[in-house]
Chain A
Amino acid sequence: MGFSRRNLLKGGLAGLGYYSTAPFVPDWIVRSANAIQDLTGNDRILVIVQLEGGNDGLNTVVPYTDPLYVDPSPTALRVKLQLPVPSLHAIDALNALNPQLPDLASWFGSGNLAILHNVGYPNPDLSHFVSTDYWQQGTIPSGPISDERGWLGRFFDLTCTGMPNVDPLTMAGVGQSKIPGTLAANTYTSPAIEDISTYIINGGVSTSPTLKAARINAIHALNDVATFDPVIDYIQKTENAAEASIAAVQSISYTPPVTYPNSKLGRDLRLCAQLIHTAGVTPRVLHVRQSGYDTHSNQVGSSNPLTGDHATLLGVLNGALHAFMSDLQMTGELDRVLIMTFSEFGRRVAENSSFGTDHGTASSLFVLGGAPLIGGVYGGQPDLVHLQKGNLIQTIDFRNVYAEIIQRWFGGNPAPVLGQTFPPIGFLPAVVQSAADRRWMAYR
């Protein structure tokens, strides 16, 4: 990591200074929280679940019939970390889900889960931060473009710039006080929503109602003053995004028909469901995080491979995703929601000395959804024979996944977003052009 990687928008925001004289007029001020404008002309939603730290694909979707995985010798790739076959949830002749993923196995059985194996990129970087940047930006160093916006932020910029009345919750980070890098755009500021009850600006506590209202208006007005400084402009746009999204967030009243687990991820996906079900709010991309996947140690318990940090994490993931999927299915919304997990990398195939695994490369990811999704396993089995410095070799470039989602889920054009065309993998059917799709095409 260089010091500059911490700057979301390094260089581009190099301060002109508070008192510079070159004009920089805000071009994005939203005042209409009720306005609805589709991202691409359909009403579909993408929910991204970021598994932070690098998820071990091999112990998530286990190649339980691969002799190198089940090797009983003390010099096997995995000894302590080898999950016992009877505890697994077999989904076909080659793959079984982790013991903590029984509900995801059921969703696989009903065709609502696609598993993509060996997802990565050429010349993998084993730094959390560098690799996360690549995944979020949808770029790699040897690729056709270099751009610090997120891949969905860039998609938004290319698709929606200039459209009137963009919904202030079109893209949002949920359960976090940071804007996810994936959503970083030039022409849109994603709200970050953590806690509904405190997502409101107070005009003082003991002030009179008149002065309270005046204070709130003054706070907004201070952030509408034309500025010449891009750093100040960014702060003002973010205040504008807060102002525009507060009313919508405060109008949330949906109570889901299922009980979500009281985990951070469970609460955050519950909030996603609430946003999806709130009248006048049309989210298109929601982003949640589950952290803790950097399992160098105690990935499995020292005396029991069915315990440990990875089991806990996947148990939380299973419970939260199951509640969310069930909620969407019961309320008839599942067919317009697609859920994708991702992690910055997988882990080393061989275990280390501390019941864990060090940083690796390619990993498996999940795509969940309703009728449009074509469930199954893609990308071929992890090849435990041909490793590169002990790491798996990728067979699916993550940009293929993004291209398929942009093209076949949102009906958009992925080429300008990713700098080139990427052939589809096939977990979504080819788009049948609707009137709405053609409407989008006009913007291309």
Chain B
Amino acid sequence: MPNKLDPFVPSVGDPWDRLKAARLMRRAGFGMTPPELDLLVGDGSQAALIAAVDALVDYPDTDPALEAKITAFAGGALANPVPDAGIFDVQWLYRMRYANHPLQEQLTFFFHDHFATEYQKIRGLVGDAVGDDAAQEAKAADILRTQIELFRTEGIKDFRSLLLAVTRNPAMLLYLDNWQNIAGRAQENYARELMELFAMGVNNYTEDDVRAVARAVTGESLDDAANLGYLYRDDVHDRTAKTVLGTVIPASAVGFGYLDTEQVIDIILSKPATAEFMAGKLIAWFVDPDPDTDAVAELAQIMRDENYVFREVLRALFKSNYFHQEPNLFAIHKTPVDFGIYLVRQIGLTDAEMSSLGHWQYLQNAITNIGMTLLAPPNVGGWIQGPAWVNTVSLINRFNLMGVGSEPSVMTDALVDSYFPTPLTATNTNIIDMMRDRLVQVPDLRPGERTIFDAHLALIDTQPLSAIGKYRAKVRALAHLMSALPVYQMK
């Protein structure tokens, strides 16, 4: 029996085509326009697919061209160091829009959800030792920015290093209180979530393990209230022996308490449950919210074989039968961030249309109204995914965002005219199919949907508008209406 994670071999009946490429880029990135997709599809061969996936996962730590673009935008309004968390959020959205390596931002987004950390709590812990209010805000934002940067550069490398780095990351030390975890009355906040949320999942450890890990990571702390940098405090470490997940960590020698932390992470990574948990999380984010058990087991095996190097894990996943043979092109609910960035990318908005900081803050606020604010997850569990994104508030605000995005002041005449080679000869059917390919990327609309679009375009035909005016009104109306298609909420 073939394995689900075996490489997908395109055939005449099941080709590597624009629809499959669009699905890959909705999930591994934030969407792509039809001309961009055509480049990815190439000749439709397996070699073209492999080249596309390799280009996706083999990204460099940093992209100087993107950094320069960010720094130059709106007179440096988004440049580092950022003055506060709000500007940092906008910078990140801008980065998602213009990323030349979109997987880097989607994976960073995944890890922000996985290692969920709330700005608000950290802001409350940054105090007068740092300086005045402005200095405190900048410091708190920088602490978060450093954590997100860690996900951006290290997320696709090995999970062991990442877990260790997150454990010692000031944002996490502050958020889950481990900076205050000392021998005597150990504090369980980080220890529990390390096992429950960050690495293993429930039912794979006991309450005694939680208490033992809490003691083992005593001493992982911060230097002082002004700097808020990482410092290991061996003097407050609980030196006594612990039993973690059945393995004894012997009493530690003075000066070597930090090795307990590394042993805890090695013990956790040695458990099959850990690879399965992370495989399941990656599959739920990128492939199927209800992961196939066999696929999870296979991906977990790949994860162990590759020493938890996620670049190789994702390379295998994005080339697999499991990813490309699934007939459902829209199995995953778009997050509000996916919705907002996808909208901007598919319409093709650039610095020409969204030229000011205010434009991006409008988008940021709209994404918040749809239900998601970066750096403000609801709790340490991250955002609840799936159908939970669908609710009355969310849908109303999604429709209204595209309502504004399709206004002539944003979706300009020049932009709309560029969609079709000869706008004045475009039939209503041409316009509907063009906008379907650009925004929805389904093989065809449901018959009932096409009827509704036809009727709306016929109504526009009765309006007192010039020929080009009618074309533009139709494109804008369809952009708005297509955002209200149920399938548009999916990716």
| Residues of A near any B CB (own CB < 8 A) | 1-4, 6-11, 13-19, 52-53, 125-130, 173, 176-179, 189, 191-195, 198-208, 210-211, 214-215, 218-219, 221-223, 225-227, 231-232, 234-236, 238-239, 241-242, 245-246, 291, 294, 296-297, 350-354, 356, 358-359, 389
Contact = CB atoms under 8 A, between A and B. Distances in A.
A307 to B, nearest CB: 13
Contacts of A202: 399-400, 403
B64 interface: no
B420 to A, nearest CB: 21
B201 interface: yes
A14 B290 contact: yes
24 contacts: A1-B196, A2-B201, A2-B277, A8-B388, A9-B387, A10-B386, A11-B290, A177-B370, A189-B392, A191-B392, A194-B393, A198-B369, A202-B400, A204-B476, A211-B473, A219-B481, A222-B452, A225-B452, A227-B446, A231-B387, A234-B390, A239-B484, A297-B187, A356-B177
Contacts of B421: none
B152 interface: no
- Which applies to chain A's interface (DSSP): helix, strand, loop or mixed? loop
Interface of B: 176-177, 180-182, 184-189, 192, 196-197, 201-202, 207, 210, 277, 280-281, 283-284, 289-291, 327-331, 369-371, 378-382, 384-388, 390-397, 399-400, 403-404, 406-409, 442-443, 446, 448-449, 452-453, 455-456, 459-460, 463, 473, 476-477, 480-481, 484-487, 489-490
Contacts of A351: 185
A226 B486 CA distance: 12
B353 to A, nearest CB: 15
B399 A219 contact: yes
B339 to A, nearest CB: 13
Contacts of B407: 204-206
Contact of B486 (A11, A232, A356): A232
B237 to A, nearest CB: 12
Contacts of B386: 6-10, 13
A223 B185 contact: no
Contacts, number: 239
B328 A2 contact: no
A9 B379 CA distance: 20
Given A211-B463, A354-B180, A356-B177, A201 B400 contact: yes
A6 B393 contact: no
Nearest to A219: B484
Given A126-B207, A219-B484, A291-B378, A352 B187 contact: yes
A389 B188 CA distance: 14
A178 B371 CA distance: 8
A19 B390 contact: no
Top 6 A-B residue pairs of the complex, sorted by shortest distance between their CB atoms: A225-B448, A354-B180, A242-B392, A17-B328, A235-B486, A296-B189
A350 to B, nearest CB: 7
Contact of A126 (B192, B379, B381): B192
Given A8-B386, A358-B187, 20 more contacts: A3-B201, A3-B280, A4-B290, A9-B387, A128-B379, A129-B381, A192-B394, A193-B393, A195-B393, A211-B460, A215-B456, A218-B456, A225-B452, A226-B448, A234-B387, A238-B392, A239-B486, A353-B185, A354-B181, A356-B187
A17 to B, nearest CB: 4
